[in-house]
A and B are shown apart, each in its own frame.
Chain A
Amino acid sequence: MDKTDDILLEVIGLKQHFITRSGWLARSKRCVRAVDGVTFSVRSGEVLGLVGESGCGKTTAARAILRLYEPTEGQVWYRSRAGQRVELAQLPKKALKPLRRELRMVFQDPFSSLNPRMTVKDIISEPLIIHRMARGKQLDQRVADLMEAVGLDPAAMGQHPHEFSGGQRQRIGIARTLCSDPRLIIADEPVSALDVSVQAQVLNLLADLRRRFQLTLILIAHDLAVVEHLCDRVAVMYLGRIVELAPTAELLGRPRHPYTEALVSAVPPADPDVHPEHISLAGEVPSAADPPPGCVFHTRCRYARDACRKHVPELIEPCPGHRSACLFADELDLRGASTGQQPRTEGPPGSTAMGR
């Protein structure tokens, strides 16, 4: 579906398992499958959303891609600025370091991700120091430019992070990320720690910067509303797996996985007169240490059938560019986001999606 030379990052079968030991004498080992076979690719210049509820492995996947963890299995192919295709998961640390300039991350918590003892200038310029990119006046100038770019007053360069509000601190974090002139930024829930009023500002800033610096963005969120406006495509994760991946409009309008349907129904519509039925998922997310057999979602899926308990669904492509890991992706007629218009008329009225 994609032209291969257009693909900036390709993740194939990425697995990140954590082994926890418990017990005193027995030393029983438990394997937490935080990320269990994630495959997707990101085209140059696009914004890919990665959504799912907390604990589903979004952050772990991001950190495994950037080798902040050592992935258990899988490949991460990245086309570097120099034009080489490199596999990050097995790359020696030394060879990885220069690539860290191009692949950057924005952290979720703007409070703990900034060292409280450093000044804003030191924080933003840290990548420059680490990669010996600039020093002295040049460094000061770069920091001032970046602070302006993210909407901060360069005069505040000498202040400490605690003198700033959450939104401002996240701007500092973004400036730090931009500092090394990256190509791909993974923004790990950049706004979930912020007040709603500030969230939009920071998202707009990200959209702006992306255009201005021609960035490719992977935007992680636990909320479809956040990714809706910014993302070209969205991947939905559940329990360490991608369950659906599609262009944003299509994913929202015509979900092909029951989990996505539930997520979509949780997004409040813009029209206050529309009161769509809210699908609440029963129960809790199963433990990643002991995932259910078959389809991992069957314990909470309202369309679950016997087959779901036995067969593990592959990520199939029911229609071009739209992938879903549901055994019945073709059969189910799931309801998308309400737009105030009549729902699609594909399935017969009273079909599963409308029932209940």
Chain B
Amino acid sequence: MLGAVMTLLLVVLSLLADFFSPTDPQKTNMSASFTPPQEIHFIDSEGQFHFRPFTYKQICHIDPETRVPVWREDTSRRYPIRFFIKDWKYRVLGLSFRWHLFGVEQPGTVHLLGTDKFGRDLWGRACRAGRISLAMAVFAAVISVTIGSLVGVVSGYYGGWVDSALQRLIEFLRCFPQLPLWMALAAIIPRTWDSMHVFLIMAVIFSLLSWTVMAREIRGKVLALREADFVLAAREMGASDWHIITRHLYPNTVSHIIVVLTMTIPEIILAESLLSFLGIGIQPPLISWGNLMHNAQNIQTLGSHPWIMWPVAFILAAVLGFNFLGDGLRDAADPYSTA
């Protein structure tokens, strides 16, 4: 249940990313480079309570001794946060909208999670990055599950040398150390390709390496089902292999397939963010949770601007959410559970 809520929340957040972000995530503002997360206040500097939350203007000082920019709040400039306001324009499904869940009036800012090197709002970018990260994960997981269940059913149903050959192939694929293989495969994608192609190829790479889990799982299930009386009954009626697979075996493995699907998604999210973090995954201008943190590789940057690690929280939430969801679905699909 918790898993479903978390997952749904993240999906909505990424799909309607622009609606939830008060600042255009693509707008650069070099004067706001590495702004720390802005605080939301209810009580102003005079100790007065305001029902409407507000932010203060942030101003930057260069420390005269260390030459390090230091941000502090200018309590004289208060920007009340308003809900459902009209601000910068965005497009959803080809339609233009100006509505946002919250925001402040110009020239105020709300950088919930601070900004990156180019002064872009990290909250907005993290929300938008969810689109790529989740889309990649779901897309790759669907391909992987399709291949995996197909191979699993064929392997389990036909048995014999077909089964042996497929199982050896799976063992061979699983022998590879995954990280170097991913890196090698991702590295051979030509840099000249546009980012959308890279996205698709990455998804294919992940799915081609992760279908083996699914295949094993489904094979086991099919091995058990193959001996079931209702399959024998279907054979007795003169059913073809195709009929038995599609009418009897597949419907009885669907619950497994769904569970493995939800378990594969977080693995791919992690793999993708790792590669993108290393800079060999998703390429700008596309943004994913991984490549948002690309700058965090530099220990100095990380030390002075720790908030650029915030996308980790999104990854964490997504992985946990899908794992919980998978667990929940597994319990729901298990006829013997009493919970």
Tell me the A residues contacting B by CB distance below 8 Å. 63, 66, 68, 96-98, 100-101, 104-105, 107-109, 112-118, 126-127, 129-131, 173, 176, 180
Q: Known interface pairs A117-B251, A117-B252. Does A130 touch B229 (Cβ–Cβ under 8 Å)?
A: no
Interchain CB contact under 8 A, A130 and B230: no
Whether, in the assembled complex, B228 has its beta carbon less than 8 Å from a beta carbon of chain A, the answer is yes
Q: Known interface pairs A112-B229, A112-B230, A115-B230. Does A105 touch B236 (Cβ–Cβ under 8 Å)?
A: yes
Tell me the B residues contacting A by CB distance below 8 Å. 228-230, 232-240, 243, 247-248, 251-252
The interface residues of chain A lying within 8 Å CB-to-CB of B234 are 126, 130
Closest residue of chain A to B238 (Cβ to Cβ) is A100
State which of A109, A116, A127 has its C-beta within 8 Å of the C-beta of B237: A127
The interface residues of chain B lying within 8 Å CB-to-CB of A173 are 233
Min CB gap A60→B, angstroms: 12
Interchain CB contact under 8 A, B229 and A68: no
Interchain CB contact under 8 A, B236 and A66: yes
* Separation of A66 and B252 alpha carbons in the complex (Å): 26
Min CB gap A30→B, angstroms: 20
Interchain CB contact under 8 A, B238 and A101: yes
State which of B229, B232, B235, B237 has its C-beta within 8 Å of the C-beta of A180: B237
Interchain CB contact under 8 A, A113 and B229: yes
Besides A114-B230, A180-B237, 5 more A-B contacts (Cβ < 8 Å) are A68-B236, A107-B229, A112-B228, A113-B230, A131-B237
* Separation of A117 and B228 alpha carbons in the complex (Å): 13
* Highest count of chain A CB atoms <10 Å: which of B235, B238, B252: B238
* Separation of A176 and B237 alpha carbons in the complex (Å): 9
The interface residues of chain A lying within 8 Å CB-to-CB of B243 are 129-130
Closest 8 CB pairs of A and B: A100-B238, A113-B229, A112-B229, A115-B230, A117-B251, A97-B238, A127-B237, A105-B236
The interface residues of chain A lying within 8 Å CB-to-CB of B229 are 107-109, 112-113
Min CB gap B169→A, angstroms: 24
- Subset of 13 A-B contacts with CB under 8 Å: A63-B232, A68-B235, A96-B238, A98-B238, A100-B237, A107-B233, A112-B228, A113-B230, A115-B247, A117-B252, A118-B247, A126-B234, A126-B237
The interface residues of chain A lying within 8 Å CB-to-CB of B232 are 63, 68, 107, 113
* Separation of A112 and B252 alpha carbons in the complex (Å): 13
Min CB gap B234→A, angstroms: 7
Min CB gap B334→A, angstroms: 14
* Separation of A117 and B229 alpha carbons in the complex (Å): 14
* Separation of A115 and B251 alpha carbons in the complex (Å): 10
* Separation of A308 and B162 alpha carbons in the complex (Å): 48
Interchain CB contact under 8 A, A113 and B233: yes
Closest residue of chain A to B227 (Cβ to Cβ) is A112
Interchain CB contact under 8 A, A126 and B239: yes
* Separation of A126 and B247 alpha carbons in the complex (Å): 10
The interface residues of chain B lying within 8 Å CB-to-CB of A180 are 237
The interface residues of chain A lying within 8 Å CB-to-CB of B230 are 112-115
The interface residues of chain B lying within 8 Å CB-to-CB of A113 are 229-230, 232-233
State which of B236, B247, B248, B252 has its C-beta within 8 Å of the C-beta of A100: B236
Min CB gap B249→A, angstroms: 10
Closest residue of chain A to B252 (Cβ to Cβ) is A117
* Separation of A105 and B230 alpha carbons in the complex (Å): 12
The interface residues of chain B lying within 8 Å CB-to-CB of A176 are 233, 237
The interface residues of chain A lying within 8 Å CB-to-CB of B236 are 66, 68, 100, 104-105
State which of B228, B238, B251, B252 has its C-beta within 8 Å of the C-beta of A130: B238
Min CB gap B2→A, angstroms: 28
Min CB gap A33→B, angstroms: 22
* Separation of A115 and B243 alpha carbons in the complex (Å): 13
* Separation of A176 and B230 alpha carbons in the complex (Å): 12
* Separation of A100 and B243 alpha carbons in the complex (Å): 15
Closest residue of chain A to B225 (Cβ to Cβ) is A115
* Separation of A116 and B231 alpha carbons in the complex (Å): 12
